[in-house]
Chain A
Amino acid sequence: MNTKMQRNGFLVVLGATLILLVGLSSSGSSFWQGIFINLGMYIILVVALNLSNGFTGVFSLGHIGFMALGAYISAILTLPLDKKASYLPDLPGWLAPVHLDMMIGPFPLGFLLATLIAGVLVTLIAVVVGLVLMRLSGHFVAVATLGFLVIVRVVLINADEFTRGSHTFSNVTAYTDLWWVYAWVFIALIAVWRLKFSSYGRAMFAQRDDGIAAQSVGIVIMRPRLLAFAVSAFFTAVAGALWAHYLTSFSPKAFYFDLTFRVITMLVVGGMGSVTGSVVGPAVITAIAEALRRLEDVTLLYGVSQIVLAVLFIVIIVFRPGGLMGEREINFAGLWQRLRFRASVAQEGSAAEP
């Protein structure tokens, strides 16, 4: 009964999201579309980071490195041949003739393939990196993953023939739209949700709560950690691919501390360990940041939004250290009961009055 209610609640949210997306895409307002595309990409980044940092407690600061790799790999793959020859003339022979820009009618199949290839390659990199780094815990893993982020940046800047170095990589086809982003949001949320409520998720949370106890019930700590890290890297790379084909031009600068800490802020505000929180966090931060940006334009106090966001972050950390959702998920059954209770109270009240 509870699961049925949860399922119905989920379908309502899904329906409402679909209606919103149809409305947005038919409205033609590029401003609102842009906000929701950005929001969607942040949701993917945050829920992916949650899987690794929140569920397993192995705090990675290097995920944006996976995003950068996803962006560059997919962008190189989808670049049309004519642009490739002039734009990246030094590509090695095996890569130069690759151009995943084919379409099936209006559907950019090449973009899908490039996204998946980028995701899989980055997952493999994450497995290799993870086999070393997931042995660490606490500050050590934070510093080591930060090192990974720095390494990725240095590699991107120096691999000129692939990335044009520190120059802007542009001419990327703008495939990413609302539907692409929210299809991936849907897949990422479902995947992470299902992992959370499975044997894998329980192993992740158990080894986070007490590593020795987890081993004593047969959990090999490396396995849940590595799985979380790898799946997390996959979706982070997908977000990178979406980002690349939305912005259409970017440089290694885009994927560094600034973005790293914005995503971590959203994660912490939403609640580490909560899939719902990974939607709430980005939504709250995006809404406040947008509102403050308007305020800046009016008052001409530029920079005030950064300060307000920082203060807000501190307030949340102090008063709700677990974030807005903690580890809990939205409970449709409970929500429904509460609404019914309120309705019945209101009815009794109005019935008693006359």
Chain B
Amino acid sequence: MGIRSHAAHLLDVTELTKTFKGLHALEDVNLQLDADEILGVIGPNGAGKTTLLNLLTGYLLPTRGKIFFQNKDITALRMPAVTRLGIARTFQNIRLFGAMTVLENVVTAQQLRTEFSLPEVLLATGSFRRKERELVEQAMDHLSIFGLEDHADQLANSLPYGMQRRLEIARALATSPKLLLLDEPAAGMNISETDALHEMILEVKRRFHLTIILVEHDMRLVMNMCDRILVLNYGRVLATDRPEAIRQNADVIESYLGKAHHTAAS
């Protein structure tokens, strides 16, 4: 494990590159994130936003570059190990354990921090019963933060869409992360739902002392909520700046509105 000089950063990404069959999905992305920040990631479809999350969580391994989390090199770690170190995520197309109950979804994430041995499970020892009881109590408390406690015994895939989104965030937070990655949490939500989501994210950020990376298409949400915004285009970083600055940035405007004006003129 290399000791690096950027001791202050929670997350330190250098020259992160991912190539799929010669196609650069992500190229030379540099990113430093400090604790307590909310970073927005925006960009047109196919800009590499989700690829970035997939690399940070170890779902994909980078072709090149380094990822340091709390000064630890996590570049080569796969998803379960990354989660254990404290990075949790949600998915663009909700991924719940559909045939399991709401409560079980959360307990399954929460048990990451509790060790069970096989003998104590098979013999149902006192310690096993105690730990199980504690897990369930914690999970119920956890669900009540998200207003899901009344649905604890319902199957996850029977929940309405908005609640599924909330459950997915609840489940991610049940792993006790330090860094939370949200992949388009507002997708498919109307304005009032998005505002409620905004409130909830700020609330859980405070409560769980989180640092957040938010990938989102909803500009209003991103601009209102984020401390900084990273703009991706064709796998490259176009800009990283405060929301007000991004709003004024000519490159960003161009990449979103297209070059139609230029090509028509030339």
Contact with A217, one of B116, B118, B132, B171 (Cβ below 8 angstroms): B171
Interface centre among A191, A209, A219 (most CB of B within 10 A): A209
Per-residue interface assignment for chain A, residues 44 to 60, with 1 indicating a CB less than 8 Å from any chain B CB and 0 otherwise: 00000000000000000
Chain A 202-225 residues near chain B, CB threshold 8 A: 202-203, 205-206, 209-210, 212-220
Contact A217 B108 (CB under 8 A): yes
Per-residue interface assignment for chain B, residues 115 to 133, with 1 indicating a CB less than 8 Å from any chain A CB and 0 otherwise: 0101001101000100010
Known: A205-B100, A210-B97. A217 touches B109 (CB 8 A): yes
Known: A205-B100, A210-B98, A217-B174. A191 touches B122 (CB 8 A): yes
Is A200 an interface residue when CB atoms closer than 8 A count as contact?
yes
Contact A220 B122 (CB under 8 A): no
A191 to B124, CA, bound (A): 10
Return chain A residues, CB-CB under 8 Å to B118. 200, 227
Is B107 an interface residue when CB atoms closer than 8 A count as contact?
yes
Known: A218-B84, A219-B80. A195 touches B100 (CB 8 A): no
Q: Which residue of B lies closest to A210 (CB)?
A: B95
Is A327 an interface residue when CB atoms closer than 8 A count as contact?
yes
Contact B88 A216 (CB under 8 A): yes
Return chain B residues, CB-CB under 8 Å to A215. 59, 78-80, 83
Contact B99 A199 (CB under 8 A): no
CB distance from B154 to the nearest CB of A (A): 14
Known: A194-B121, A198-B116, A219-B80. A213 touches B99 (CB 8 A): no
Contact A217 B175 (CB under 8 A): yes
A266 to B124, CA, bound (A): 28
Interface centre among B91, B98, B108, B172 (most CB of A within 10 A): B108
A219 to B89, CA, bound (A): 14
Is B12 an interface residue when CB atoms closer than 8 A count as contact?
no
Contact B122 A195 (CB under 8 A): yes
A203 to B174, CA, bound (A): 15
Known: A200-B116, A216-B172, A217-B174. A206 touches B80 (CB 8 A): no
Return chain A residues, CB-CB under 8 Å to B83. 215-218
What does DSSP make chain A's interface, helix, strand, loop or mixed? helix
Return chain A residues, CB-CB under 8 Å to B59. 212, 215-216
Contact with A213, one of B97, B104, B116, B174 (Cβ below 8 angstroms): B97
Q: Which residue of B lies closest to A212 (CB)?
A: B95
Per-residue interface assignment for chain A, residues 133 to 172, with 1 indicating a CB less than 8 Å from any chain B CB and 0 otherwise: 0000000000000000000000000000000000000000
Return chain A residues, CB-CB under 8 Å to B108. 202-203, 206, 214, 217, 219
CB distance from A236 to the nearest CB of B (A): 17
Interface centre among B78, B97, B112, B174 (most CB of A within 10 A): B97
A217 to B74, CA, bound (A): 17
A273 to B100, CA, bound (A): 11
CB distance from B153 to the nearest CB of A (A): 11
Number of interface residues of A (CB under 8 A): 24
Is B263 an interface residue when CB atoms closer than 8 A count as contact?
no
CB distance from A194 to the nearest CB of B (A): 6
CB distance from B61 to the nearest CB of A (A): 13
A217 to B113, CA, bound (A): 11
CB distance from A271 to the nearest CB of B (A): 12
Is B17 an interface residue when CB atoms closer than 8 A count as contact?
no
Return chain B residues, CB-CB under 8 Å to A273. 99
Contact B96 A213 (CB under 8 A): yes
Q: Which residue of B lies closest to A213 (CB)?
A: B95
Return chain A residues, CB-CB under 8 Å to B96. 209-210, 213
Return chain A residues, CB-CB under 8 Å to B79. 212, 215-216
Q: Which residue of A lies closest to B90 (CB)?
A: A216
Interface centre among A199, A206, A214 (most CB of B within 10 A): A199
CB distance from B46 to the nearest CB of A (A): 20
Return chain A residues, CB-CB under 8 Å to B84. 218
Is B233 an interface residue when CB atoms closer than 8 A count as contact?
no
Contact A198 B128 (CB under 8 A): yes
A191 to B122, CA, bound (A): 6
A and B contact pairs by CB, cutoff 8 A, 7 listed: A194-B124, A198-B132, A199-B114, A206-B108, A210-B97, A215-B80, A217-B175
Q: Which A residues are within 8 Å of any B CB, using their own CB?
A: 191, 194-195, 198-200, 202-203, 205-206, 209-210, 212-220, 227, 273, 327
5 additional A-B pairs beyond A198-B128, A210-B98, beta carbons within 8 Å, are: A195-B122, A198-B121, A205-B99, A215-B78, A217-B174
* Top 9 closest pairs, chain A to chain B, by CB: A213-B95, A217-B109, A218-B112, A215-B79, A209-B97, A218-B83, A199-B111, A198-B121, A202-B108
